Structure 1
Amino acid sequence: MRPANRSACDADSHGGQQQQQQKTRWTMGATQMIQEAADNEETTPSIGDTHSSSSQVQFPELQGRPLPPLEPVLKLLRLTHTEKQRFFMDAPIIDEHEFSELCQKVYFAINDYSLSAWVIVNTGLFYLLLGLNEHNFTQVGVTSDDIQAYSQLSSANLDAAIQSLRLCQDPSIEGCQALVLLTIFCLKSGRSSIAWSLIASASRMCIDLGWHRLPRDPERPENSKISKAEMIFWNVYVMDKGMAFTLGRTPSIHQYDVATERPSFPRDLPGAPGYIYAGFVEFAVIVGDMHIQLFSAAAQRGSQQTRVESAKAFAARLVKVNSDLKQSLVDDPPTDVMFEAPSVLLDIIMHCLTTIVYRIVPCDEPNSHPLQCNFGCVKAARQALSTIVQASRILGQRNPLGWSMFLNLLFSLVPFACFVVLAGNTIASSSTEDLELLSGAISAIGPIAASSPSGRKLYDVCRSFYEAASFSVARQTAASRAPPHPNVSATQVFDHLGETSFSAQLDSTEAPSYEHIMAPHDWDTIMNEFELGIEAGEMASFVEPYMPFDDYNGLKHIEGFPTAHIHTSDIVGCLAFDTFSCIFLSLFFTAALMFDVFWPERVEARRMQWIWKLGSAAATVFQLAASIAVTIIVATHGVHISSVSAEQENTIRGNWNGPPLKYGHGGKALAVIVFSWIEWVFTLGSTIAMWRCYAHNNKHGPFADRARKGNGDETFSMETGLGLPHD
């Protein structure tokens, strides 16, 4: 079919059904043209069983790169106009006949083609091949091994195309399409940082083309479809908002500057696809508003009460959008299983966003645990994780690779805050049901651990939270089965967790109030190797062998006496100071010893010598002060109980089953005193030796009493190994 004939057909066609029939005929015509060109092409170069482009690409680094073989590609293109393929539903920015034209342009490059065309063709082939059902293998003429080989070939071409992108590109429809498809490719493969750069470029290109301010057409027919420019713009808008929110960045397209009319569904796109796309657009708009009103710098400087009210309004808005979408899908159910994954993705995103906004609302329960969130937040987190677990049993078993891509896309569009919230709630409430749900979620997201470094990092984060929650529940369960004392037992909140020292913070009632833990910048902090600082609970993990931190550091509350408070900050503070003194003197004298052993004949200025001598004196004073403080505290102090009556305090002390109420009655505390004074004696001796050494060396030199070597006329230098003349 020639373009002139197509124009004539366009002029004669009326109604959506005739347009669809014409599109099908055009796709078949483009496919036929490719086949005719293949039949007439006698000198097409090939590499093995792959097709090589005719080297008309304008980027020399892509020259000669092989493409998937022509024959299965032709059959695949024929299949696209007889059966709807998942690729064209996930990426509605391009349709079947346009893709066929680009395949013809790249496979038979009579004229130069752009890098964008190369990207679109390789991305389309990559996902079309991976999306083939087994019953189509014979029709396309491929096997599972062929699909794996061809998809790897297309993936390598896309990686090369990413490296070939230019900083300055002329804005165009084809360029935007290529950037969007590359973004999807990177998101599904777990490369969020590259995807962010790509979608930022696509956003700028959309703005340069003026798509954010497309004029409204008053004469637009009621049943006409959304234009290509609008479709591309809103796809870019959705990914820009989602990734900016997840990565803690500022979006490139601002809602206040968008004048383009939002698509109206199902008018612009009827049926299930329209409802799903409408949900994603609503999700992006809400995320943009959330960024401004809840998490921007200006919002966080404002009133907390204002943020709380805004969070409640956003939660209600999210719930309404999600319920409306589900009702629409019930009233007009999709006829194809391909729509299942996008609807599940949207459902999880909405629950995760609801969790995040509810996290700003304080818990309304009295005397709540610092990790306890309000009921709406915990409920949304449970729904999100339950949906993920259920989806893994269906989508994951049906297509493991597709499930891994699904997870990578999900965690790029929304922070996985629901897991953190439910882990904290599990620690606070010792809920075995929530712990079981966390375990199921860990298994469900397991495939991303092998898909990318970022996926591995996220999996390790969730695994650490789960282990902390599991340990807390197991400990509380064991404590509840222990022989009870009347109405009271001491509960230790801090405990040694072996190698997982990070987890100790999660189980601490003294942990910081994670008021903004679900904001993007706080999630980024959690992802950055848990750089949350070293506090008393973590310090106990490496000083426990010789210090009684764990005996007293976790005592805060007494079961049966909710108003009682246990105070042990005196012994914890003095032991922390003693630890500092030990670390300081060990580092100081180790450095001094290394200098004396390897550079005994070094020349030091008087100023430097005084620094060394005063440093040793400071170490001695620190250790003396620490020893005195530990001795006084252990000998005279004990556990202090407040906020109860004298009778209640006597009851607590009479039924105490924790560490000794008098610090001096504990064996570990007495051992600390003994070793602390022994350490001070040796520190004092080392300080005296250093001062006398400097006095001796300044007068006689470092080897005044060294043994003679040879005939007595030379001495031996430890630094150089050479004989030195005797003065």
Structure 2
Amino acid sequence: MPRKPPNNEHTRMELPPSSFILQVLGTLKETRSLLFLFYAVQDLWQVEELCRRIYFPLEPLSASELTLFNGMFLVILGDLMSQTHDGLDGDEVKKFHSICHDNFQSGYETYEVVIGPTYQHTLILSIALVNAQMEGNLALHASLTSIAARHCLALGYHREERIVHLPSIEAQRARRLFWTIFMFDKNLSLRLGRAPIIQDYDVDVKHCVSSQDPRDLPWDHAFAAFIEFSRLQAQIYQLLYSPSSNTLDTTKRQVLIEDLKTSLSRWHDGWKQIDTSNAHRKDILSSILEPNEVAYYSVLTILYRGAKLSNSVQDIIPECFDAARQGLRAHLARWPHTISAGMSATSLYGIWILLYSSFTPFIVAFLHCIKNADTNDLELLKNVLDTIEQLSSTRDTLKRQFDLCRALYRIAEIFINDGHSTGQRATILDNTIPLPLQPGFLESWDFLDPNLPLPNYSASSAIFYI
């Protein structure tokens, strides 16, 4: 029977029995869990330490300890559900995964976790925000990331002076936690069009020390690369899209773009050099690394889009259109491998590429299509739309993404079929309403009806710009 913790009202919840947990811990000694590769949890010892506290308490348990336990095992059991291990009953794994999920969700939503900046609360939030991302809940992910980032600042984890005065194990854990939160905070900056909570000029904490296990090293390299990619995205927002950038003229913008493009290209070259052949869970690491080709071109598209302050499609530079097309083609090239990996992998790919990266390349290709009446662009949009339609059945948020892209494709199709001359297209494009590069959340696209009726729709009144 599932074991319950001591009878304190605030900690009363159903837990997996200790015998089951011991089986799982034994399994974790034979296989490397994603909890230690992709999350801010340091190692198995950290989990075992908490398990001893939960199942053999010498003092009353806190609600945050139980929440963290459930968060850790939510990830561990979710990972084990996709594998087969001797001695573990699949039905039990699924059952206790569901219990941990419910316990964790009710735990991280408490006032104490959100208000109290402690290591444990921040680690809880770090697990919750990754899970929100994997479920495609951008609003929740952004909210949890902001809270966790503020906790890190309140704890002083951004300062090396604070970290070096912690005991060695605590320092390692705090360092890993900080850089995990830093990465997610920076990654959201360009995506949502807002300044990150953690500012570069305020950070002097050193990066995590690389693992002694050579099979962990590729994951360490990927983690460092993700941090740098996120930092570059935040710089693009700060230098080209923030309110302070509005005073920059075209010449200064071009200089900044060239510098950022050089940094982005250098990052891209390094990213492609990460060798996954000897990595723990190398198939999963490869599935994380390879789709980032699409994300790279998405960021490159946004970078070039910042060349001019003007919102007119006429002022989008050719490099921006080229990057957008390369991004869509990279997606199409990746698609057969993605779809063959199964529904779960396909859903995660869609969430990462379409929600957390950006669908700016689709919008820019759409604008190039209507600007030039380009049938090749129209075909490219249709091919991409077909793949998004397959993704749309996996998550509601991806369904809204498909509805939006379908509406844009229909507009482009009608526009081209109307057969406007170059002069007419220029007139129409000069009298359009603004279409944001990428809205913070899809709900802000309410003005664009995804069920656009084709027969009575006039292209001359339906063109949008970014």
1:272 CA displacement: 1.3
Confirm or deny: 8 A CA contact 2:189 2:196 kept in the other structure.
Answer: yes
- 2:218–2:279 Cα contact (<8 Å) kept: yes
Instruction: Name the counterpart of 2:142.
Output: 196
Q: Which residues in structure 2 correspond to 1:221-370 (within 5 Å)?
A: 227-263=172-208, 271-329=217-275, 334=279, 336-361=282-307, 370=313
Please list the CA deviations of residues 665-707 of structure 1 after superposition, one character each: whole Å capped at 9, or x if unmatched.
xxxxxxxxxxxxxxxxxxxxxxxxxxxxxxxxxxxxxxxxxxx
Aligned position for 1:509: 429
- Separation (CA, whole Å) in 1 of partners of 2:51 and 2:382: 46
Post-superposition shift, 1:265?
A: 6.5
* TM alignment of 1:279-678, pairs within 5 A: 279-329=225-275, 334=279, 336-361=282-307, 370=313, 373-411=316-354, 413-446=356-389, 449-450=392-393, 453-473=396-416, 475=417, 508-512=428-432, 517-518=436-437, 523-524=439-440, 528-531=444-447
Q: Which has the higher contact order (CA 8 A, sep 6+)?
A: 2
**Secondary structure of the equivalent of 2:429?**
coil
TM-score, normalised on structure 1? 0.54
Distance 1:106 1:152, change over 3 A: same
Q: 2:12 aligns with which of 56, 60, 63?
A: 63
For the Cα contact (< 8 Å) 1:389–1:441, is it kept in 2? yes
Instruction: Report the Cα offset of residue 81 of structure 1.
Output: 1.3
**SS class of match (2:273):** helix
**In structure 2, C-alpha distance between the alignment counterparts of 1:387 and 1:140, rounded to whole Å:** 40
Match for 1:341: what amino acid? S
**Contact 1:123–1:185 (8 Å) recurs in 2:** no
| Contact preservation (8 Å) 1:216, 1:261 | no
d(CA) in 2 for partners of 1:261, 1:99: 25
- 1:78 Cα deviation from its structure 2 partner: 1.4
Question: Residues 401 and 442 of structure 2 are in contact (CA less than 8 Å); yes or no, is this contact kept in structure 1?
Answer: no
Q: Which runs of 5+ in 2 are unaligned?
A: 462-466
Deviation of the 1:529 alpha carbon: 2.7
The alpha-carbon deviation at position 312 of structure 1 amounts to 2.7
| 8 Å contact from structure 1 (residues 86, 338) kept in 2 | no
Per-residue CA distance 1:266-311 (angstroms, 9 max, x = gap): 8999631122112111112212222221111111133233223212
Deviations 1:636-691 (A, max 9, x none): xxxxxxxxxxxxxxxxxxxxxxxxxxxxxxxxxxxxxxxxxxxxxxxxxxxxxxxx
Q: How many angstroms does 1:426 deviate by?
A: 2.9
Work out the CA distance in 2 between the residues paired with 1:171 and 1:326. Answer: 37
1:105 lines up with 2:25 in the alignment: no
SS at match of 2:255: helix
How far off its partner does 1:214 sit? 1.0
Normalising by the residue count of structure 2, what TM-score does the alignment of the two structures yield?
0.82
User: What residue number does 1:205 align with?
Assistant: 151
CA offset at residue 189 of structure 1? 1.4
Q: Is the 8 A contact 2:253 2:306 kept in 1?
A: yes
Is the 8 Å Cα contact of residues 163 and 171 (structure 2) preserved in structure 1?
no
- State yes or no: 1:53 paired with 2:4: yes
Cα distance in 1, alignment partners of residues 30 and 212 from structure 2: 25
1:166 equivalent in structure 2: 112
Q: Do 2:36 and 2:43's aligned partners in 1 also have CA atoms closer than 8 Å?
A: yes
Cα deviation for residue 240 of structure 1 reads 0.8
Q: Distance in 2 between matches of 1:225 and 1:267?
A: 18
Equivalent pairs, count: 450
State how far apart, in whole Å, the 1-side matches of 2:61 and 2:70 are: 14
* Corresponding residue SS for 2:275: helix
- Give, in whole Å, the separation in 2 of the partners of 1:132 and 1:93: 17
Are 2:25 and 1:80 aligned? Answer: no
> Using a 3 Å threshold, how does the CA distance of structure 1 residues 470 and 197 change in structure 2: closer, same or farther?
same
**SS at structure 2 position matched to 1:128:** helix
Gap change, CA 1:452 and 1:357, over 3 Å in 2: same
Q: CA deviation at 1:322?
A: 0.6
Percent identity over the alignment is 19
Distance change in 2, residues 1:150/1:402 (3 Å): farther
| In structure 2, C-alpha distance between the alignment counterparts of 1:214 and 1:53, rounded to whole Å | 40
Post-superposition shift, 1:153?
2.7
Structure 2 CA distance for aligned equivalents of residues 374 and 266 of structure 1? 44
Q: Report if the CA contact (8 A) 1:130-1:151 is conserved.
A: yes
The DSSP-based 3-state class of the residue aligned with 1:54 is coil
Q: For the aligned residues, what is the CA RMSD? A: 3.9
Paired residues of 1:311 and 1:358 also in contact (CA < 8 A): yes
